[in-house]
Structure 1
Amino acid sequence: MTTKNDIEKTLWSACDTFRGKIDSSRYKDYILSMLFVKYLSDVTKEKYAAYQTQYNGDAVRIERAMNRERFFVDKESTFDYLYNERNNNQIGQMINVALSHIEERNSAKLRNVFRAIDFNSQVDFGNQKEKNAILKNLLEDFSVLDLRPSQLSSADIIGDAYEYMIANFASDAGKKGGEFFTPSQVSHLLALLVQPKENDRIYDPTCGSGGLLLKAYKEVPDGKCAVYGQEANAQTWALCTMNMFLHGVDDAKIYQGDTLSNPQTLENDCLMKFQVGVANPPFSLDKWDSGFLSNTEKDNEKKKEKMTASMDSYGRFGWGVPPSSKGDYAFVLHMLHSLDDNSGRMGIVLPHGVLFRGASEGKIRKEIIEFNLLDAVIGLPANLFYGTGIPACILIFKKNRTRDDVLFIDASGEGHFEKGKNQNILRDEDISKIVDTYNKREAVEKYSAVVSRDLIRENDYNLNIPRYVDTFEEEEPIDIKEVQKNIASIECELSQVQKEMAGYLKELGL
């Protein structure tokens, strides 16, 4: 049987094929795409063999049966075919053609999933000799894997291994890793806080490789929910689409494009409404409004045009337009306008600056609080995320709230996380404490507070957590007499040592 360790071992071997030749932020796309092709090929091979037996080799009936499967890979696009051609001088182009055929044959689910991948790239692989050597090694790395369903020790191991490698690539990629991956503990926490239910629509407007969406999806036991996402980066969009497919979420709607200037989750030319929203958008995204602007200078003023609320045809910025250099509230406003008016709830990961920055952000924050949409503010430990060591927070919003308070939780302190070598980690007990406190909505000394909106108004809508949760630890009182006694004792010992040292120096004639 093929185990998760077998798959991970093969993936790391494939990484060794690329290390020192291509940056990990690039070669992850080739390795994960090849894993995907190997899986599709092996499943198709096993299904075809079963139907051959069942229909006694009747080609027409076999073809009809295969067309009813989740997907199909023709012979010239299978991994085995490519492996047998691994010494071909045109192997890069042959892989590209195979990927194109897979897309065409399964266009309803895999359209354009490989469009950002070029196995014939001279930029990534260098000259033909170097490229062919790398691709031959890559095919040989994966040839040892048997990913037929009957040989897998668990139905989930392909998807789990895929996510495991995405996480490792994110760690290796440093700052760039944060662009496509949210640490699984944070994703799990966010999913528990928004509590997805059967028949909900779940939405992530900056879905990256899809980890947050999958964690939310898994909170619905029977999987009876609809999954939607949008991702600006074409390569990351492809990772997300493959990730969904490998986890069996075939009907997920994952769109590619700028969510703010070109949202694609629409119904009747309006923003689609969702019961659940989750997101970890890029922190303080600079020039988030570029998709709205003409980027031309006004002839009379010679100044770049500024974003205005009227430029957005979906009316998301009536409460204020966030500064061009910080897109945090642009994503908040987009998600709030995408929530179902009756049962919509959302959790979003943001930098702490959104809690207290002024100007247009302060005005937006005021409107959000006055419309009673903010449900909780949760401070997280520093250094949880790839590419940034700054502490972040989770804001929970709800439509149709009847409460008149906001829960503040400070989970950033010592004892609420595990210190890691490169990154800090939220443990299961840390996640449980946050979720329990949120569900019970209780005040816990030095950890949480339930704060009235009147008090928030008095604080000029500043949401900085230390204003409401006092985590100050008093130091034990100092006994001055005891300190003086210790100092006197130390001085006495020092005097004795100095006398002994002087004697030794005298004996040495120094």
Structure 2
Amino acid sequence: MDKKTTQEEINRTLWEACDTFRGKIDSSIYKDYVLVMLFLKYLSDTYKEHLEEYMEKFKGNEVMVKRAMSRERFIIDEKCTFDYLYTKRNDSNIGEIINKALAKLEEDNPGKLRDVFMSIDFNSEAVLGKTKDRNAMLRTLIEDFAKLDLRPSKVGDDDIIGNSYQYMIERFASDAGKKGGEFFTPSMVSELLARLVKPKENDRIYDPACGSGSLLIRVANQVPGRKVAIYGQERNGQTHSLCMMNMFLHGIDDAKIEWGDTLSNPLHLDDGKLMKFQVVVANPPFSLDKWAMGFAGDNDDKFKMEASLDPYGRFNWGVPPKSRGDYAFVLHMLHSLAEDGRMAVILPHGVLFRGASEGKIRKKIIENNLLDAVIGLPEALFYGTGIPACIMVFKKNRNRTDILFIDASGEGNYEKGKKQNKLREQDIEKIVETYENYETVDKYSYVASIEEVKENDYNLNIPRYVDTFEEEDPVNMDEVAENIKNIKAEINKVEEQMAKYLKELGF
């Protein structure tokens, strides 16, 4: 029996492929080259195996083979295959050859691969160095990937490739520190969000700051057979490309992932209005500075964001401060929520209590009975930041007016790591169960009435509602007095002994 290509083997080969670049280029840049090559190798190996199968099935009848191949997921010209690039690996213009292959792939698959590779240049002197160094790097990269057999018959389970892609993105996020948080949400945090919003069959699922798509995939995986419609938007071109490839490698061919600034230029529209979704999730950039610059036009210097500048009316409840875009994303998401919609968003704790315009927006959201729960998370869960975050859960048409507060930040509710803490399965289960039961649990959760929240002037700071103070055992004063007495006696003995020694020494 043929030996299968295992998950570990793929992961190891991919990580070794990174050695080609380490020390020469920052990992936040070279990740794109490694991940594009993985995607190309997978497409190429799959296409090649299917071609061989059809040649055998149709006994070499080229017309019938061509017709069958035209129905493949992706059309791949011979000059776009990994094998062709391998034969050209020693050519002096190998970077240009790879670029042409990617451009041809896009051209032949406009419905799926349009703009997927436009943000990556395998012939860039600025990124990959002068010709000799660049060619050496690209040759080594191609040779590393030649060791991998990614044909479906060798890989077996489709998810293995997607899992490897995800593994690499997570490793890069860890490597990239603060920048890592821009394109990847730790998998167990994504899992928690996915379980909180409970997607159902045929739901539209949307992430307005989708990064590399890991959160969307986690939410889709909650539904058997992923029978949902996936929508996302990402403003970073390279991250948008990663997201598209991530979807394809997870067998999701119909995701609608747009490229652009969601706040100033939302691209998921119905008849010129914001499209509505049953499920909305996001881990937007924390407190994004200059979030409204896309509205500025040419008058950049004296620009002041006003609600009237947004054609979709998202900021009528208040305009978030220019240096903190947290509520800009929340308001966009709420305006994108369908009537039976559920929404969960990861945010810094400041959104719970900051005043001024953020306080006014918070009050409006609560008065409109949209906030369902506030969940405090442990510190250091996210790449590049030690600060603890929270999850705000929103619902349209709620059948209650209370708000549930959960403090899951205490010891025992997570696993401590050297650089980063982790949520375990049991921690997620505890949060989800408490949310589903919507109950007060001593030192963990509290169901606050709307009156209590109003009395607190709409301040949602979790310690105001969940008392996690642990009382210390009462002190036995008789025991303390006895201890003091014994210590004093001990000191007297030592002092007497010291006096003897000093006398002997003549002092």
Q: TM-score, normalised by structure 2?
A: 0.96
Aligned residues of 1:295 and 1:304 also touching (Cα < 8 A): no
Name 2:352's counterpart in structure 1.
Answer: 355
Identity %: 65
Cα distance between partner residues in 2 of 1:509 and 1:74:
102
Q: Which of 428, 436, 439 is the matching residue for 1:439?
A: 436
Superposed CA deviations along residues 152-178 of structure 1, whole A, max 9, x for unmatched, are 142210000100110010000000000
Cα distance between partner residues in 1 of 2:455 and 2:194:
32
Q: Which of 370, 374, 380 is the matching residue for 2:371?
A: 374
The within-5 A match list for 1:118-197 is 118-197=121-200
Q: What letter matches 1:94 in structure 2?
A: I
Q: What letter matches 2:275 in structure 1?
A: M
Q: Which of 314, 322, 325 is the matching residue for 1:324?
A: 322
Name 2:400's counterpart in structure 1.
Answer: 403
Aligned residues of 1:229 and 1:254 also touching (Cα < 8 A): yes
Cα distance between partner residues in 2 of 1:87 and 1:494:
83
Q: What letter matches 1:423 in structure 2?
A: Q
Task: Give the superposed CA RMSD.
Answer: 1.7
Q: Secondary structure at the match of 1:396?
A: strand
Name 1:314's counterpart in structure 2.
Answer: 312
Are 1:264 and 2:267 an aligned pair? Answer: yes
How far residue 493 of structure 1 moved from its aligned partner, in angstroms, is 4.3
Aligned residues of 2:158 and 2:251 also touching (Cα < 8 A): no
The within-5 A match list for 1:9-408 is 9-294=12-297, 296=299, 304-341=302-339, 343-408=340-405
Cα distance between partner residues in 1 of 2:56 and 2:333:
52
Q: What letter matches 2:319 in structure 1?
A: V
Residue ranges of structure 2 left out of the alignment (5+ in a row): none
Aligned residues of 1:295 and 1:305 also touching (Cα < 8 A): no
Superposed CA deviations along residues 61-118 of structure 1, whole A, max 9, x for unmatched, are 1111111011122111111111121111111111111111111111211111111111
Superposed CA deviations along residues 21-73 of structure 1, whole A, max 9, x for unmatched, are 11000010000000001000000100100111111112221111111011122
How far residue 314 of structure 1 moved from its aligned partner, in angstroms, is 0.4
Cα distance between partner residues in 2 of 1:468 and 1:243:
40
Q: Secondary structure at the match of 2:292?
A: helix
Aligned residues of 2:439 and 2:447 also touching (Cα < 8 A): yes
Q: Secondary structure at the match of 1:222?
A: helix
Q: What letter matches 2:74 in structure 1?
A: F
Name 2:461's counterpart in structure 1.
Answer: 464
Taking a change above 3 Å as real, the CA distance of residues 505 and 179 of structure 1, as seen in their structure-2 partners, is farther
Superposed CA deviations along residues 164-194 of structure 1, whole A, max 9, x for unmatched, are 1100100000000000000000100000000
Superposed CA deviations along residues 210-245 of structure 1, whole A, max 9, x for unmatched, are 011000101111221100000000000000000000
Cα distance between partner residues in 2 of 1:506 and 1:238:
85
Q: What letter matches 1:114 in structure 2?
A: F
How far residue 477 of structure 1 moved from its aligned partner, in angstroms, is 1.8
Superposed CA deviations along residues 320-354 of structure 1, whole A, max 9, x for unmatched, are 0000010000000000000112x111000000000
Cα distance between partner residues in 2 of 1:305 and 1:360:
17
Taking a change above 3 Å as real, the CA distance of residues 506 and 140 of structure 1, as seen in their structure-2 partners, is farther
Cα distance between partner residues in 2 of 1:120 and 1:369:
53
Aligned residues of 2:208 and 2:262 also touching (Cα < 8 A): yes
Aligned residues of 1:24 and 1:173 also touching (Cα < 8 A): yes
Aligned residues of 2:374 and 2:393 also touching (Cα < 8 A): yes
Q: Secondary structure at the match of 1:94?
A: helix
Q: Secondary structure at the match of 1:296?
A: coil
Residue ranges of structure 1 left out of the alignment (5+ in a row): 298-302
Taking a change above 3 Å as real, the CA distance of residues 213 and 481 of structure 1, as seen in their structure-2 partners, is same
Cα distance between partner residues in 1 of 2:217 and 2:182:
17
Aligned residues of 2:20 and 2:141 also touching (Cα < 8 A): yes
Q: How many residues align?
A: 504
Q: What letter matches 2:440 in structure 1?
A: A
Cα distance between partner residues in 1 of 2:121 and 2:47:
24
| Residues 135-144 or 493-502, more deviating | 493-502
Superposed CA deviations along residues 256-314 of structure 1, whole A, max 9, x for unmatched, are 000000000001000000000000000000000100113526xxxxx612100000000
Name 1:300's counterpart in structure 2.
Answer: none
